Amino acid sequence: MKKAVIFGITLLLLSVGGFVLGQTKLFPFEVTKTGFGKQTIIFIPGLASSGDVWNETKSKYEKDYTCYSLTMAGFAEVKPQPNATFNSWKIAIANFITENKIENPILIGHSLGGGLALAVASNYPELIGKIIVVDALPCLAAMMNPAFKAKNNIDCSEIVQQMSSASEEQFYQMQKLTISHLVADTSKQKEVLRWSLTSDRQTVARMYCDFSNTDLREQINTITCPSLILLESYFKNMQPSIQEQYRNLQTAEIKYADKGLHFIMYDDTEWYLNQIDYFLKVH
């Protein structure tokens, strides 16, 4: 269970042929667009992560798909916006899809981004063509407490104060240790650490608190699109609990990585891309 806690807590230059749409008053994220395919993929990163976490994935698919990579406000050098909540980000992603007239996009989300993909697909099933969830659960808190119930108007002030008041050195050491438990590929640890250190601490703390209080276990029964769930190898040890978490997602295909940690796209890249390839071909 200690690993599950770590999993929950932790948590631009233009790419060739792409451009940044930018953060606006309407959307609490910056968007990088690449590719020109008829089908669209929207990539949603996790807590305190940049949309650049998807660069290697995009390089494989942007030849055949139009790709939008989000970086949420307050994460990885993007200017924070006030009153950020999991629910407001969910609504903003749905509005972005609607206002840009994107038809049946594929959502690919990691960690917090995977939770957002589940939430958007369950609240707006008519908008979404497919979802791919990378190492996220409908209710992380329930892994530690099966009787967990989400609270109304949860008070996040304590965790915000704790994270905000840490010194630069304390925060650096805490994040460095945490990320070593999330990314096995040492060549990528420094980059993930940089994203975390350049994120707005208050936004990260509030979003962690809010997402930790989110329970999508019942809500996902409204998802109708094909759904691929890619989980890190550690979760093989908890398969009954995982199956229970996803019990109401009738379209779920759950796969477990062979190696690595939370950032599956870095730690088990070949397996990860093979799973996505097959899923996109058969659905």
Share of the chain above pLDDT 90, in %: 89
Q: How high is the pLDDT of residue 12?
A: 25
* Stretch 165-178: mean pLDDT: 97
Q: Please tell me which residue, 4 or 62, carries the higher pLDDT value.
A: 62
Q: How high is the pLDDT of residue 168?
A: 97
Contact, 136 vs 217, CB < 8 A? no
Residue range 65-83, pLDDT digits in tens: 999 999 999 999 999 999 8
* Stretch 237-263: mean pLDDT: 97
- 41 strand-pairing partners: 67, 106
Contact, 98 vs 40, CB < 8 A? no
- All structural domains of the chain with their residue ranges: 2-282
Answer yes or no: is pLDDT of 229 > 80: yes
Q: How high is the pLDDT of residue 23?
A: 44
Residue range 98-136, pLDDT digits in tens: 999 999 999 999 999 999 999 999 999 999 999 999 999
* Stretch 271-280: mean pLDDT: 98
Label residue 21 by pLDDT band (50, 70, 90): low
Question: What is the number of residues in the chain?
Answer: 283
Q: Which CATH superfamily is domain 2-282 in?
A: Alpha/Beta hydrolase fold, catalytic domain (3.40.50.1820)
Answer yes or no: is pLDDT of 211 > 90: yes
Contacts of 279 (CB under 8 A, 6+ apart): 130, 132, 226, 228, 253
Answer yes or no: is pLDDT of 139 > 70: yes
